[in-house]
Amino acid sequence: MNYFPFFRGKQFELICIRENGGLIARQGFTPIIEPVKEGANGLVRTIEALKREQAGFLIVANPSVGHHAPSLPDEFAAQVNDAISDYAQGGWIYQLQEADDLLAVRSWLQNWPDLAILHHGTMAAKDVVEVVTNQQGPDRKHLFLVDKCSLRYRGAFSSRHKVLLEDGFKKTKNADYPDVEVFSELPVTYQDQGANGFGDYLIVGSEYSDGGGAAYAVAIHITYADHEDDGVIYVRHFKSDTNDTPTDPAGKFQEALEKLIEYCAQPGSKIPETEAIREFQRLHQHGHFPGLGYVKKLSMQHHLEIMGR
């Protein structure tokens, strides 16, 4: 499947990628990883895990958030470069957000002629085309942020590898999520829009946060394909009830988890029993709270699993 999940290089996101490297390779997914933490070791371990599985991937060369924004330091980039330079299925992707990026991308294209481009749609398409098509490289991948790149802008680029990237996760306070809402129609419509692939930010969303305070409410976000609605992806939010104070995250998790387990056990539940759901069932059976980072990792894993069905 031509699916491009966008990850930030935080601990549990990198763990999710490493633990699901086999699934990623089997399904032909291409994860995009934006480095956001200071050290490169975790990212390099993730790259090596993907290489062992013969999986494809793209590393963001100029992060827009996190420790290294707006560009990777030379030492960090060199460590990553060493890990991917001998691997044909891995590479770099460059974000075009500002006019200065057009100047910087020239040198990247000289060193990496197959450099993928992530378009933010903030510049005139003709200016971008002039820069990225003058290089004698292969038919490069072009990824477009759906809410920023118009059809006219996308149409200016001739490529067999056009990918639409959308943030389907409508982030709000945990207590304020509706029970269910549409996540994305892209898996159904991307080809009709002239694209060859699609991507999303999983159940994390594009909004970046380095960390958060204590949660007043706990929510477990679970996606599924609704085959009664042409396979459109929906997300259900299972929320805790005791949300007046930021204390007792374990108790709040058990409240949300109980709702998830009850829903999945109902006849006609649209949530498939993935490996991630089975792990949620084990946590419920043992009354164990593994920490909210682990819970988010399981929800990301479930999303990867349903995208491969």
Q: Report pLDDT digits (tens) over 56-105.
A: 999 999 999 999 998 899 999 999 999 999 999 999 999 999 988 998 99
pTM over 0.85: yes
- Measured torsion, CA atoms of residues 11, 16, 22, 23, in degrees rounded to the nearest 10: -150
At 289, list the tokens: 């709270």
Interatomic CA distance for residues 270 and 293, integer angstroms: 25
8 Å CB contact between 47 and 76: no
8 Å CB contact between 264 and 258: no
Q: How crowded is residue 44: how many other Cβ atoms within 10 Å of its Cβ?
A: 16
DSSP code of residue 175: G
pLDDT tens profile 113-126: 889 999 999 999 99
pLDDT at position 158, please?
86
1-166 fold: TIM Barrel (3.20.20)
Please calculate the CA angle 155-161-164 and round it to the nearest 5 degrees.
65
8 Å CB contact between 180 and 235: yes
Q: What are phi and psi of 223, to 5 degrees?
A: -95, 160
At 7, list the tokens: 């990850």
pLDDT at position 215, please?
84
pLDDT at position 136, please?
59
Please state, for a pLDDT cut of 90, what percent of the chain lies above it: 86
**What angle in degrees, to the nearest 10, is found between the helix axes of 292-307 and 249-265?**
30
pLDDT tens profile 214-262: 789 999 999 999 999 999 999 999 999 999 899 999 999 999 999 999 9
Among 136-145, 186-195, 200-209, name the one with the lowest average pLDDT: 136-145
Region for 231 from its dihedrals, namely left if φ exceeds 0, alpha if ψ lies in -120 to 50, beta otherwise = left
